[in-house]
Chain A
Amino acid sequence: MEVPILKQGEFLIATIQAALSDADLEQLRMALVQRVVRYRSRAVIVDVTAMDVMDSFASRTLREIALMIRLRGAETVIVGIQPEVAFAMVQLGLTLEGVGTALDLEEGLAYLNQKFKTVN
C-alpha cells in the first residue's frame, strides 16, 4: 500500500495508515527523498500512529529516511509512536538515534514551527 504524502506549507506530511511491507517502506523512502527537494520543503513529518508493531527493518528505514533527508537539507520528525511500541523498540535497541520525535502530528508541527522560528 502506498503511503500518501501531503504538502502542507513548508512541510511534507507522510501518514502511514496500515502495516507496511518492506517494499512499501523502501518506496516511501524514495518518494520522500525525491519530493523534499522538488517541493523545496524544510521538514518532513512521518506519522506512525497506525503502526502497532515496529520491527528492526521499519525502524532502520525510518532512521535512514531521517539521515537522507538531512543530507537533502531538511528536518525529519517521527510522530505518533505508541507507548507499547516505544517500549518494545527500546528493548530491541531501536532508539531512532538522532531523529526528532514528537507525541502526535500537532506536537510535531509545533516542534518544527518553534525550531524554524528560533533559526530565523
Chain B
Amino acid sequence: MARRDSPPRGTTFKEPSTAELPRNEAPPELLRELVAHLRQNRTHLREEWLRRISETRLLTAMTKEEIFAEATSVYDSYVEALETGTFEALTSYARNLSERIIPRGVETHEVIGIVLLLRDVLARSLFAKYQADSEILNRILDAYEPAANRIANTVAVGFVQERERVIRQQQEAIRELSTPVLQVRERLLILPIIGVIDPQRARQLTEQLLRGIRTNRAKVVVIDITGVAAMDVTVANHLVQTVEASRLLGATVIVTGLSPEIAQTLVTIGVDLGKMNTVGDLQGGIEQAERLLGYKVVPSSEER
C-alpha cells in the first residue's frame, strides 16, 4: 500500500473548508483496525470521555442526561467520520448541535474543549492498546492524528460559523426594527431613536428621515433620543448634519430627550449645538412643533 504523500500533519489545519479527507492518506487496513477498536470500546471510552467532561466542568449549562445523549451522537459521528473520511455528516451534525446549544449559553471554549478531550481520550486508548509495538503505534497515530485534528477543526468552525450567523441575524433584526419615521400630524414627523447609534445606523437614519420628509411633505420633525444611552463625537456630528440636511429640505428639527449625561458629554467635547432646537421631553417637543405648525390643542370641555 502506498505511503501517504499528502502534506505532513498540522498543515491540515489550514484548510478547514475541505470536507473530504484524501482517501490515500492512511492505509485502509489501519483505519479499519482503528475504527474497529473504537467501536469495540465504545461504552468504555464514552464513559471515560463523559468523566473527563464533568471533571473539567465543561457544558455546565446542560444536564447530565443531555450531555450523555449528545456525547453518544458526537462519538458515533466522530467514529463515522474517521471511517468514511467524509465530513458532511459531521459538519451538519455540528451545525445542528450548535443551533441547539448556542441559545443555552454554551461557549466556544467548551465546544472546542470537549472535542479535544475526546481526541485525547481516544489517543490514550490507542497508546494503551499498542504500547508494546511502537512501530504499529506510530503508524496508527499517523492515521489517527490528521483525521482527529480535521474533525476538531470542522466542529469548531461549524460552531463559530453558526454563532456568527446568529449574531449577523440579530444585528439585521435590530437594524430593521430600529428606525421608524412616524407621522403624528399633518406635516409633523417623529423619529424615536432607541439604542446604540453606530455610524452606519446614523447614516441610515438620516437617509430614512430625509426620504420621510419628502414623501410626507413634513415641515417639522421631532427627533427623540430618550432611548439613546451614550453619544460620541461622531454621532453628535452626525446628528448636527441630519438637522442641517433637514433644513435644506425646508423642515425644522426639534431634538428632545437629551439625557443629562449626553448633555454633559456634548458640552465637554464641544460639539456646537447652537443651531439645534432642543426641548426637554417628547411631549414638549410635540407641543412646540404644533405651535410652529399653527395647531392648537384644546380639551373638548374648554371649547366654546
- Contact status B249-A103, CB under 8 Å: yes
Complex CA gap A96/B56 in Å reads 67
Given contacts A83-B214, A86-B210, contact A102 B244 (CB under 8 A): no
Which residues of A sit under 8 angstroms from B211, Cβ to Cβ?
83
Given contacts A83-B214, A107-B217, contact A96 B248 (CB under 8 A): yes
Contact of B244 among A85, A90, A107, A111 (CB under 8 A): A90
Hey, which chain A residues are within 8 Å of B210, CB to CB?
Answer: 83-84, 86-87
User: Given the complex, which residues of B lie within 8 Å of A90, measured CB to CB?
Assistant: 241-242, 244-245, 248
Tell me, yes or no, whether B286 is within 8 Å of chain A by CB.
no
Within 8 A of B (CB), among A42-95: 78-79, 81, 83-87, 89-91, 95
Determine the distance from Cα of A36 to Cα of B149 in the docked complex, in whole angstroms: 83
B150-191 to A contact mask, C-beta < 8 Å, 1/0: 000000000000000000000000000000000000000000
A83 touches B250 (CB 8 A): no
Q: Decide if B217 touches A83 in the complex (CB within 8 Å).
A: no
Q: Are B241 and A101 in contact (CB under 8 A)?
A: no
Which of A86, A91, A111 is close to B249, meaning CB atoms less than 8 Å apart?
A86
Q: Which residues of B contact A87 (CB under 8 A)?
A: 206-207, 210, 241, 245
Tell me the minimal C-beta distance from A100 to chain B in angstroms. Answer: 8
Range class of the B interface residue count:
10 to 19
Nearest CB on B from A49, distance (A): 11
Interface residues contributed by chain A, number (CB under 8 Å): 19
Distance in angstroms between the alpha carbons of A84 and B206 in the assembled complex? 10
Q: Which residues of B contact A95 (CB under 8 A)?
A: 244, 247-248
- B242, B244, B249 pick with most chain A CB within 10 angstroms: B249
* Cβ 8 A contact of B245, one of A86, A102, A103: A86
CB within 8 Å of A: which of B226-270? Answer: 241-242, 244-251
Chain A CB within 8 A of B213 CB: yes
B-contacting residues, A10-29, CB 8 Å = none
Given A87-B206, A91-B241, is A102 in contact with B250 using a C-beta cutoff of 8 Å?
Answer: yes
Chain B residues with Cβ under 8 A from A102's Cβ? Answer: 250
Interface string of A96-120 (1 = CB under 8 A from B): 1000011100011001000000000
Q: Can you show 26 pairs from A to B with CB atoms below 8 A apart?
A: A78-B248, A79-B250, A83-B207, A83-B210, A83-B245, A83-B249, A84-B210, A86-B210, A86-B246, A86-B248, A87-B206, A87-B207, A87-B245, A89-B245, A90-B241, A91-B241, A95-B244, A96-B248, A101-B247, A101-B249, A101-B250, A103-B249, A107-B217, A107-B219, A107-B250, A108-B250
B residues at A contact (CB < 8 Å): 206-207, 210-211, 213-214, 217, 219, 241-242, 244-251
Query: A residues engaging B (CB < 8 A)?
Result: 78-79, 81, 83-87, 89-91, 95-96, 101-103, 107-108, 111
Question: Given contacts A83-B207, A89-B245, could you give 7 more A-B pairs where the C-beta distance is less than 8 Å?
Answer: A89-B248, A90-B241, A91-B241, A96-B248, A101-B247, A107-B219, A111-B250
